[in-house]
């Protein structure tokens, strides 16, 4: 009896949450673009989760694409053995695209998480305290923003590949260097964005009210300012998750990201570069990896838009 009472109490307590959730789901159903975005992203999640089944790894490192015994330069068209065909060096495109999904997620999530952590912390501190602290942090972000992002990342990767990675004790691998480079270049935009929001929220009465009831600076920042300032950041982060993968692909295309034979879409496109000039004769070499990148970015972009419609209270009730 008692447990039943507790459950109904719990159910009653959850009612507003459920109501909001239902409203959110209704919102999603109503906008076809966000549905497409969500299905694209879930499609990639399914691929990533099922990768060991869809393309069983044959090497010790599953991210290394299996290749033929003898080196064959000419790509082979799609066949029973290689559903997406092969590219230079008899590299299996199907395997590369499937495992490339995991790599894309891994890269996107690690990079965005780190950028969020750095950007949000610095932005909060700069916006909240203002004055000299604000000045120092924001001028530093200005310096980083002043360089073209891709060039700065390239410079960082080149520099890092000469330096010792404190975690492994060896020089940075190309992939780690690329991830770290993108992180170090990506955060300033977030800092700026959240600082602006903090400046807006900081002047609200409830912040003063909270201070008058004895809240410390840290508490005000984390409990009162952050929840009111975070929405644009979440939206931008979801948009950027696709962009960061595109960025990494660009680096790989330039030969600075993943090494050859690594399951990375950018790397596969890099391989395809030689065959584009033949027109559509070797179409599978660039169409399949290109399609994966395009759909992945499109999915996150649409999802970001959907997030905005759902999360932003100004749009939500329209």
Partner 1 sequence: MEQENLVEIRNLYLNFYTYDGVVNALDGVELDIKKDEILGLVGETGCGKSVTSLATLAMVISPGMIQSGQIEFDLGKEKLDLLNIKERDRLKIRGKQVAMIFQEPRAALNPVYTVGDQIAEVYYHHRKEELTKAAISEAEKDVKNAKGFKRSIYKRELSLLEKMLKNPKSLTVRFASKIPILKRFQNRIKLVVRKDTVELLRLLRIPDPQRVIDMYPHELSSGMAQRVVIAIALTCNPTLLIADEPTTNLDVTVQMQILHLIKELKGKLGSSILYVTHDLGVVAELCERVAVMYAGNVVEVADVMAFFKNPLHPYSQALLESIPRPGQKFVSIPGTVPSLVNPPIGCRFYDRCRYALEKCPKVKPELVETEKGHMVACHLYHEG
Task: Using CB under 8 A, list all residues that contact partner 1.
Answer: 13, 16, 130, 204-206, 208-216, 219, 223-224, 227-228, 313
Token duo for residue 35: 């549905």
Nearer to partner 1, 30 or 216 (CB): 216
Residue written as tokens 């507790």? 6
Are the C-beta atoms of 100 and 289 separated by less than 8 Å?
yes
25 burial level (CB within 10 Å; 0-12, 13-18, 19+): exposed
Of the pair 9, 142, the CB lying nearest partner 1 is at 9
Residue 250 C-beta: closest distance to partner 1, Å? 38
Least CB distance from residue 17 to partner 1, whole Å? 10
For residue 154, the minimal CB distance to partner 1 (Å) is: 41
Q: 3-class secondary structure for 243-266?
A: HHHHHHHHHHHCCCCCCCCECCHH
| Closest CB to partner 1 among residues 53, 212 | 212
The residue (of 68 and 227) whose beta carbon lies closer to partner 1 is: 227
Per DSSP, what are the bridge partners of residue 92? 86
- Least distance between partner 1 and beta carbon 190 (Å): 20
Q: Give the nearer residue to partner 1 in terms of CB position, either 59 or 117.
A: 117
Q: What is the distance in angstroms between the CA of the first residue and the CA of the last residue of the chain?
A: 44
How would DSSP label each residue in 52-71?
HHHS---SSSTTBPPB-SS-
**Residue with smaller CB distance to partner 1, 16 or 169:** 16
Q: Find the shortest distance in angstroms from Cβ 142 to partner 1.
A: 23
Rounded to whole angstroms, the Cα distance separating 10 from 23 reads 20
- Minimal distance in Å, beta carbon 16 to partner 1? 6
Q: Are strands 91-92 and 86-87 parallel, antiparallel or unpaired?
A: antiparallel
Confirm if 267 and 289 have CB atoms less than 8 A apart.
no
């Amino acid at each position: 009896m008692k447990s039943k009472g507790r459950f109904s109490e719990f159910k009653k307590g959850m009612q507003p949450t459920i109501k909001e959730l239902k409203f959110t789901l209704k919102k999603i159903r109503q906008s076809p673009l966000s549905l497409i975005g969500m299905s694209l992203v879930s499609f990639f999640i399914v691929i990533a989760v099922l990768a060991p089944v869809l393309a069983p790894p044959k090497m010790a490192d599953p991210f290394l694409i299996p290749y033929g015994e003898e080196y064959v330069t000419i790509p082979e068209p799609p066949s029973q053995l290689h559903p997406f065909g092969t590219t230079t060096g008899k590299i299996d495109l199907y395997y590369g695209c499937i495992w490339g999904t995991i790599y894309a997620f891994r890269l996107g999530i690690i990079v965005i998480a780190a950028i969020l952590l750095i950007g949000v912390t610095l932005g909060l501190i700069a916006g909240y305290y203002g004055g000299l602290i604000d000045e120092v942090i924001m001028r530093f972000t200005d310096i980083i923003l002043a360089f073209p992002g891709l060039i700065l990342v390239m410079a960082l990767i080149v520099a890092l590949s000469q330096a010792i990675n404190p975690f492994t004790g060896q020089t940075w691998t190309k992939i780690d260097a690329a991830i770290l480079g993108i992180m170090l270049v990506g955060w300033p935009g977030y800092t700026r964005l959240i600082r602006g929001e903090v400046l807006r929220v900081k002047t609200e009465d409830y912040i003063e009210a909270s201070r008058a009831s004895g809240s410390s600076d840290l508490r005000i920042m984390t409990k009162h300012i952050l929840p009111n300032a975070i929405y644009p950041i979440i939206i931008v982060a979801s948009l950027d998750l696709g962009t960061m993968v595109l960025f990494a692909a660009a680096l790989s295309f330039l030969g600075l990201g993943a090494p050859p034979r690594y399951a990375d879409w950018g790397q596969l496109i890099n391989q395809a570069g030689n065959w584009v000039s033949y027109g559509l004769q070797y179409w599978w070499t660039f169409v399949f990896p290109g399609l994966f990148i395009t759909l992945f970015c499109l999915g996150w972009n649409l999802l970001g838009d959907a997030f905005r419609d759902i999360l932003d209270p100004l749009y939500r009730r329209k």
